[in-house]
C-alpha cells in the first residue's frame, strides 16, 4: 500500500487525483413531508444569516403553501429557532430539512398580504427578519 | 416579552365542532399574549407527549419535563384559569376536550407521516433541550406550528416585536 506521505515524497499530488467538489447536496435525509405543499411562487432574497447580527430577508409568495428560507451555519443546520416577532397573516415553521434549517412561512388562506416576522437562530443568535409580500403572478419561481 | 398588552376581542360566531356537540355554537375569543404563550407551551407539550408515546422516547420526554417543570406547571395553570373564566362550571369538560383535540391533531399528523414521523420529528427533543432557558420556550413552540389551525391570530394591525399579540381560540358560549 502506498501511503499519502509516500506519494507526496514522490512528488505526486493527491489533489491531481481528486474529483471536482460535488454540488452542495444534503448529506442527511430529506423527508417527503418537508417537500410537499410548496407555494407556486416563492422568491426569496439570497442572504445568509450571521451570528449575533440581524439580517433582513425578503420573501414574495403567491400563497397556497409554504415558502421557505433555507439557512445553515458553518456547522450545518441550526439547533433551533425562536419566533421573536410573530407573523400576523400567516404561520411560521422552523425545521431541519436535510443539512439546512428552513424557515417556512405559510400565509393564511386567501390573497397574500404583506407581513413581517423574525426568527432568532441558535446557536449563534443570528436573527432573520423577513418581510413578506404578495408575489406577482409573473414573478420568478424559486 | 415586554409591554405585552392584554387584548381581548370577540369574533363572529361559528362552529368548529371542537368541543361538545356538533350543534354547539362556538365563539371565537382572542386571548392575551401571556395566555397565548401558555397555549403554545401546552401544545408543544402535547406534541412531545405524542412523540414520546409513538416513538418510545419516554426518557427524552422525561428529561424535557424535568428541565421545564416549573414553566410547564405555571403555563398549565394559565390555561386552566382561562378555561375557568371562559367556561365557568363547564371549564373542566372543555379543558379536557381541548387537550384531546391537541392530542388527536398531533396523532393524526403522525399517522399521515407514517414511518417518517419518528425520525423526522424526534429532533424536537434535541432542539428543546438546547434552548438557553425556559423563558424562550414559548418562542420556540411558536416555530413548531403545534397549535391546531383552529387556533390562530385574530385580524388586526401588524404586530410589534413580542407585543400586543392576540390569538383566538374556539370556545363554546357559557
> Could you report the per-residue pLDDT of B66-76, keeping only the tens digit for each?
999 999 999 99
pLDDT category at A81 given cuts 50, 70, 90 is very high
Residue by residue, pLDDT tens for chain B (174 residues) are: 332 222 222 222 222 334 443 233 344 566 888 999 999 999 999 999 999 999 999 999 999 999 999 999 999 999 999 999 989 999 999 999 999 988 998 899 899 999 999 999 999 999 999 999 999 999 999 999 998 765 544 433 334 344 334 344 443 433
Asked if A119 and B143 come within 8 Å (Cβ–Cβ), the reply is yes
Q: Grid coordinates standing for A51? A: 451570528
Q: Is A52 left (phi over 0), alpha (psi -120 to 50) or beta?
A: left
CA distances in angstroms from B166 to A132, B10, B30, listed in the order given: 20, 11, 6
> A118 CB near a chain B CB, below 8 Å?
yes
Q: What is the mean pLDDT of chain A?
A: 84
Q: What is the pLDDT of residues A88-142, one digit of tens each?
A: 999 999 999 999 999 999 999 999 999 999 999 999 999 999 999 999 765 444 5
Neighbour-count burial of A93, counting CB atoms closer than 10 A to its CB (0-12 exposed, 13-18 middle, 19+ buried):
buried
Nearest CB neighbour to B127, from listed A79, A86, A116: A79
Residues in chain B within 8 Å Cβ distance of A29? 119
Q: Grid coordinates standing for A61? A: 409568495
Range of the domain at B82: 2-170
A residues 48-77 closer than 8 Å to B (CB): none
Q: What is the pLDDT of residue B31?
A: 81
Residues in chain B within 8 Å Cβ distance of A80? 127-128, 130-131, 140, 143
Q: What is the pLDDT of residue A13?
A: 41
Other CB atoms within a 10 A radius of the CB of residue B167 amount to 21
Of B3, B5, B1, B14, the C-alpha closest to B170 is B14
pTM: 0.78
Q: What is the pLDDT of residue B4?
A: 28
Of B41, B66, B4, the C-alpha closest to B135 is B41
Search chain B and give the residue with CA nearest A91: B145
Rounded to whole angstroms, how far apart are CA atoms A81 and A79? 7
User: What is the signed CA dihedral for B174, B25, B32, A130, rounded to 10 degrees?
Assistant: 170
Instruction: Collapse the DSSP code of A31 into the 3-class scheme (helix H, G, I; strand E, B; otherwise coil) and give the result.
Output: coil
Distance from CA of B126 to the nearest CA of A (A): 8
Q: State the count of interchain CB pairs (< 8 A) between A and B.
A: 73
Of A63, A118, A60, the C-alpha closest to A94 is A118
Count of the separate structural domains present in chain B = 1
Nearest CB neighbour to B142, from listed A34, A86, A108: A86
- Which residue has better confidence, A63 or A23? A63
Q: Which residues contact B84 (CB under 8 A, 6 or more apart)?
A: B91
Amino acid at each position: 500500500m502506498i501511503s499519502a506521505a509516500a506519494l507526496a515524497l514522490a512528488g505526486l499530488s493527491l489533489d491531481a487525483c481528486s474529483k471536482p467538489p460535488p454540488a452542495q447536496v444534503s448529506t442527511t435525509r430529506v423527508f417527503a413531508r418537508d417537500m410537499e405543499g410548496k407555494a407556486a411562487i416563492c422568491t426569496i432574497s439570497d442572504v445568509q444569516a450571521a451570528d449575533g447580527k440581524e439580517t433582513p430577508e425578503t420573501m414574495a409568495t403567491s400563497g397556497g403553501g409554504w415558502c421557505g428560507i433555507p439557512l445553515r451555519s458553518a456547522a450545518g443546520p441550526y439547533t433551533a429557532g425562536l419566533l421573536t416577532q410573530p407573523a400576523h397573516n400567516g404561520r411560521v415553521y422552523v425545521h431541519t430539512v436535510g443539512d439546512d434549517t428552513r424557515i417556512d412561512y405559510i400565509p393564511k388562506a386567501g390573497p397574500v398580504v404583506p407581513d413581517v416576522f423574525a426568527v432568532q437562530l441558535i446557536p449563534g443568535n443570528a436573527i432573520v427578519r423577513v418581510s413578506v409580500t404578495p408575489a406577482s403572478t409573473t414573478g420568478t419561481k424559486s | 416579552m415586554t409591554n405585552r398588552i392584554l387584548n381581548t376581542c370577540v369574533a363572529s360566531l361559528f362552529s368548529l365542532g371542537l368541543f361538545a356537540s356538533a350543534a354547539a355554537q362556538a365563539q371565537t375569543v382572542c386571548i392575551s399574549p401571556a395566555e397565548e404563550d401558555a397555549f403554545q407551551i401546552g401544545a408543544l407539550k402535547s406534541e412531545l407527549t405524542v412523540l414520546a408515546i409513538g416513538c418510545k422516547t419516554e426518557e427524552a420526554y422525561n428529561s424535557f419535563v424535568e428541565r421545564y417543570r416549573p414553566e410547564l406547571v405555571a403555563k398549565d395553570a394559565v390555561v386552566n384559569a382561562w378555561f375557568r373564566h371562559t367556561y365557568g362550571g363547564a371549564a373542566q369538560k372543555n379543558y379536557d376536550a381541548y387537550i384531546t383535540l391537541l392530542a388527536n391533531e398531533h396523532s393524526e399528523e403522525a399517522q399521515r407521516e407514517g414511518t417518517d414521523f419518528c425520525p423526522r420529528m424526534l429532533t424536537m427533543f434535541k432542539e428543546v433541550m438546547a434552548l438557553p432557558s425556559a423563558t424562550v420556550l414559548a418562542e420556540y413552540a411558536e416555530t413548531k406550528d403545534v397549535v391546531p389551525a383552529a387556533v390562530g391570530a385574530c385580524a388586526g394591525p401588524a404586530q410589534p416585536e413580542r407585543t400586543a399579540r392576540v390569538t383566538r381560540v374556539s370556545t363554546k358560549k357559557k
